[in-house]
């Protein structure tokens, strides 16, 4: 792990030093995402699905406001820092059943307003025992997508992500960057990125990868493939203009791609929302023979 989470912010060498990890801010996070999804749904070929995902985001916001992560979950987090491992790695960090309470509350909110097909998915999730849900979460977080129904995965992930994002935002941590490789996975939870973002503001011009689970962002230099770290093998694809707000970065070494977001071109971007609304770009790049290296929190395979 070339970015290590530490108990305190390590003193930096100067004002120009790059911050390795940006922890997620919770305030209005899901409300903003819901708004963006609704905006993108207008006149979109996938408008209905974008609108449905907006409802999921609204429900996540309600849960964040009404049943936030209990303070005692945060108490032991500092002990997990400084050991060189991602402190919230799903294989190692003991998940609290609170995430299942989030899932059940999510189901209760969405159930009355969904149609029959979605209802049967929600009902199937309701019937699982706590141990069965834990097994499904473990498989999903390990990337074993064939073990989890893709319809169920959408809701499982929404609850899990709300849990891990709250933990990550509460992490009493700084981060220390080490030169070297292995920045493919989130230094906080070891999950895969959704996409990368070319930042504006204090980090202007720097590339950060955004975690698909805990939603923190970590720095990675722009000239390397985010998957295999090869240099000099990258191509950029966009559907319309040269200065498009979303591009796909493909690698001729490992034949993967990941989307890159340019909020400077579109200040309202939300990585998850805009990722879902730009599937046409994925289709184009996959047609060229590249496979997506990141996760798609709104579209699981299977």
- Residue 225 binds Fe ion (CB under 5 A): yes
Cβ nearer to Fe ion, comparing 118 with 228: 228
Q: How many CB atoms lie within 10 A of CB 212?
A: 23
Residue from 254, 262, 264, 286 touching Fe ion (CB under 5 A): that is 254
Q: For 28-54, b where at least 16 C-beta lie within 10 A, e where not — what string?
A: ebbbebbbbbbebbeebebeebbbbbb
Tell me the closest approach of the beta carbon of residue 120 to Fe ion, in angstroms.
31
Tell me the closest approach of the beta carbon of residue 86 to Fe ion, in angstroms.
8
From residue 180 to residue 219, the character string flagging contacts with Fe ion as x (rule: CB under 5 A) and all else as - is: ------x-xx-x-------------------x-xx-----
Residue from 41, 148, 251, 295 touching Fe ion (CB under 5 A): that is 251
CB under 5 A: which stretch of 69-77, 136-144, 147-155, 221-229 binds Fe ion? 221-229
Tell me the closest approach of the beta carbon of residue 253 to Fe ion, in angstroms.
4
C-alpha distances (whole Å) from 262 to each of 163, 197, 247, 274 are 27, 6, 8, 11
Cβ nearer to Fe ion, comparing 12 with 231: 231
Q: How many whole angstroms separate alpha carbon 213 and alpha carbon 164? A: 7
Nearby residues of 90 by Cβ (< 8 Å), 6 or more positions away: 137, 138, 141, 142, 189, 190, 191, 213
Q: How many whole angstroms separate alpha carbon 115 and alpha carbon 113? A: 7
Tell me the closest approach of the beta carbon of residue 186 to Fe ion, in angstroms.
3
Residues that bind Fe ion (CB under 5 A): 186, 188-189, 191, 211, 213-214, 225, 227-228, 230, 251, 253-254
């Amino acid at each position: 792990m070339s970015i290590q989470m530490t108990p305190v912010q390590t003193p930096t060498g100067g004002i120009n030093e790059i911050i390795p990890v940006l922890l997620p801010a919770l305030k209005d996070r899901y409300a903003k995402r819901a708004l963006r999804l609704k905006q993108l749904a207008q006149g979109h070929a996938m408008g209905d699905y974008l609108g449905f995902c907006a409802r999921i985001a609204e429900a996540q916001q309600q849960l964040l406001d009404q049943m936030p992560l209990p303070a005692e979950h945060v108490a032991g987090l500092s002990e997990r820092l400084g050991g060189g491992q991602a402190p919230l790695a799903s294989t190692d960090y003991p998940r609290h059943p609170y995430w299942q309470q989030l899932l059940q509350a999510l189901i209760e909110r969405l159930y009355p307003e969904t149609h029959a097909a979605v209802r049967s998915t929600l009902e199937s999730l309701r019937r699982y025992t706590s141990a069965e849900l834990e097994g499904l979460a473990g498989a999903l977080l390990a990337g074993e997508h064939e073990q989890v129904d893709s319809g169920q995965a959408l809701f499982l992930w929404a609850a899990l992500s709300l849990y891990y994002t709250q933990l990550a935002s509460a992490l009493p941590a700084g981060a220390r960057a080490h030169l070297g490789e292995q920045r493919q996975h989130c230094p906080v939870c070891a999950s895969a990125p959704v996409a990368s973002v070319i930042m504006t503001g204090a980090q202007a011009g720097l590339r950060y990868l955004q975690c698909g689970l805990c939603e923190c962002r970590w720095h990675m230099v722009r000239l390397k493939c985010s998957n295999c770290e090869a240099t000099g093998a990258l191509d950029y694809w966009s559907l319309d203009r040269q200065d498009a707000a979303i591009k796909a970065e493909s690698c001729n070494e490992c034949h993967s791609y990941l989307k890159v977001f340019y909020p400077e071109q579109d200040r309202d971007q939300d990585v998850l929302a805009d990722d879902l609304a730009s599937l046409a770009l994925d289709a184009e790049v996959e047609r060229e023979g590249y496979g997506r290296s990141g996760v798609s929190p709104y579209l699981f395979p299977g």
